[in-house]
Structure 1
Amino acid sequence: MGISGVSGTSARELAAATPATRDRYVDLLRVASLGVVVLGHWLMAAVTTDGSVGNLLAVVPGLQVVTWALQVMPVFFFVGGFSHALAHRSRPRYAAFLRARLQRLLRPTMVFVAVWGAVALVVQLLGADEGLAGVALRLVTQPLWFIGVYLAMVALTPPLLRLHERWGWGAFAALAGGAVAVDVLRFAFGVPFVAFLNFAFVWLAVHQLGFLRADGMIRLPGALAAGGLLGAGLLVALGPYPLSMVGMPGEKVSNMAPPTLALLCHGLWLVGAVELLRGPGARFAARAGVWHKVVVANGIAMTAFLWHLTAMLGVYGTLLAFDVRLPEPASAAWWAQVPLRIAAGAVLTALLAAAFRRFEQPAAPAPGASTVGAGGPLAALGITLALFGVLGLSMVGFGGLLEGRSATLIAVEVTAPAAVAMALAGWLFVERAGRGRAT
């Protein structure tokens, strides 16, 4: 997931000790992309005095065009591909690679799930799951879809990296071609369920671009950006694709869930754009003060991402608890309060990150442990269980926990307890397989 960041003196020491060969721009992109996602979520939340949570982009449809700049998850997945390529080449054994990549992902995620699971149980036992509290129980787990997709990328890095090393751009083209075929079958022929294949084709194609960057094979970023922007524009203007690059409530077609060819084109233009900025971006990241902040931020990035919706809902919950009347979303008063709400959300997120950041730090290896003979099959089973558990929980949420509320995950009904059990078992399997045996 990037730098093993710590705060204070240790962060300064780590920043000062960074080798000159490290691609600091990649770390800057990782932090910046997650920061934009958090900011976007805070801006889109349209909370009213009755505790309901709407979407600002639905209230003001004209703002949907800003998602072409603020929907930057493709940049994070692109950076992930770059990092995974380097990590796997330095640690080729599958189980050891998985454990090393997932420690800073699954440990803070499972702590987040445990805390919110306990809160949900207490809230529902007290019968207090109405209004904003009930919305929170459903909403806070939704960003876990990103964790699930990222788990799939980590799991599939070894075979996809081999395809990249053999075919280069051809491997990317095959994945992009799969996305095209899926959308043709979906929109031209109405084939049911085929759209869900694009969760793999679209996001893995973006991830594959990270492999290409790792080997210096993105030589015409301007053409990539222009081609992606033109493609997305034409698809939205002439095809069945919506303008928004994030999901909208009640829409028949979403570019995000499942992902579409338009979202892939959007990803291409973003990747091309950040690559065009690589020179000035690298010089900016090389500044001592900037790099120190990047190191600190990388050390808490996943924790902050997991808890940022909790912080946002905490701000609104506090306002409602003190009977503060919230202005109508998108009104002049609402816009005037945006800086204050974001500042309050940032402070609360920082406090939550400070409380839970220790779970994001990599665990020290066991004395005498070796990855010789480590269990690749056990690791593969573990990451599969974790992936389905996290995705299932992102869909079902913690609302209706006592009533056995379920959601459909690939034709299977999943409840929150079952999803948590799968994620926990998967994490433990990956940890066990990756430790190897004592020598």
Structure 2
Amino acid sequence: MLIGYPVALTLAGTSLVFAGIGIFFGVFDGSYLLATPSRLFGIVKNQTLIAVPLFVFMGVVLERSKIAEDLLVAMSGLLGRFKTGLGVSVVLVGMLLAASTGIVGATVVTMGLLSLPTMLKRGYSPSLATGTICATGTLGQIIPPSIALVLLGDVLSSAYQKAQLDMGIFSPDSVSVGDLFVGAIVPGFILVIFYLLYLWAVSKFSPSQVPAHGQESEHANLKSLLLALLPPLLLIIAVLGAILTGKATPTEAAAVGAIGSVFLALLKKKINGENTKYVVRETTKITSMVFLILIGASIFSLVFRGFGGEELLQAFFADLPGGVFTAVLLVMVVIFLLGFILDFIEITFVVVPIIAPILLMMGLDPIWLGIMIAVNLQTSFLTPPFGFALFYLRGVTSDTVKTEQIYKGVIPFIIIQLCLLILMAIWPGIITWLPSVLYGAN
């Protein structure tokens, strides 16, 4: 992977080569590979994963409809009179985009093109401006409906069922994508509040990084804000409301969102041949990437188990001093470090299926574990050198902004996300409270 070979083919190809070597030397149980056809067929017919292309489609349509542009212009116009008004606007619009599109790349690129030149022109330091945009873009990882949570929910559901069987418990209970969506709402809002508090702290204690004063705008009126805000807000309410009230599964709600995004695009008169072709191609490309990585990761996990890797890990975690605390801490540190070199999709499909059943057998709440992993994975978009949000922004930023300034700008936001992880570890109720209120979960 480090020399640039495709991740999905690396996972599958390397695993099969090692399986062949293991069979030749008699150290690999080849019967595990017999499960490959049923595993791959199960991926293709998985009802939960149908939500992936639907949410991707919804996000790409909204991106192409210039919803973000209208929101940012209206919000910055209303808040522009305050010193950090434009920065606050970027965070709030990013939160709304996260709850409607969930595509990190689209949010970062859109914000980079629309707001970064204005922020620099008004006197924001390059590091603060780029850090705010990158961090805001990653909110799509944790605020539902998030593609990352859809993938993580599917993996955790399988891991939970496996842990139950390994413990001799035959129960129909499982963890669903909807459970993760509900569990992520409070942490997502807390993260937004932390971002806003950080901008306030910078304006208070390091005023050289923000404009000396705000700037009035001709767009500063409530009517323009409501006109820009209402369409995506109604779409968010329709999608999340259907899930939270139990009226629809995440997959069905994703279909509602896809249809709703097309309706909004029609209202804005953005449906034409060029945009339709772009939407279909992007949706197909992203969906194909996700499923191909999932197939490669499935083969990898089968070979890993054939070599007895799971038993070795279980024994290793069981022998750790400190029990569950040390095990969770070690896993979180490993996931955080892997985020420097791997995308969240590879970590979700390769690492989580291996470690999640072991941690769940230790008695951890699956919703709590899922959101902890999701927030941890969110940092993978910000951590240099391979943070994807950094790449996205670098691609649309002028040469006057140095790469070191982008790296410097995201460090405080990485620390903020790690602080949120610590808070959720100390007070699990941050995650589990809302699911328990809505569903009566423990």
Do the structures match in fold with TM over 0.5? no
So what's the TM-score if we normalise by structure 1? 0.29
So what's the TM-score if we normalise by structure 2? 0.29
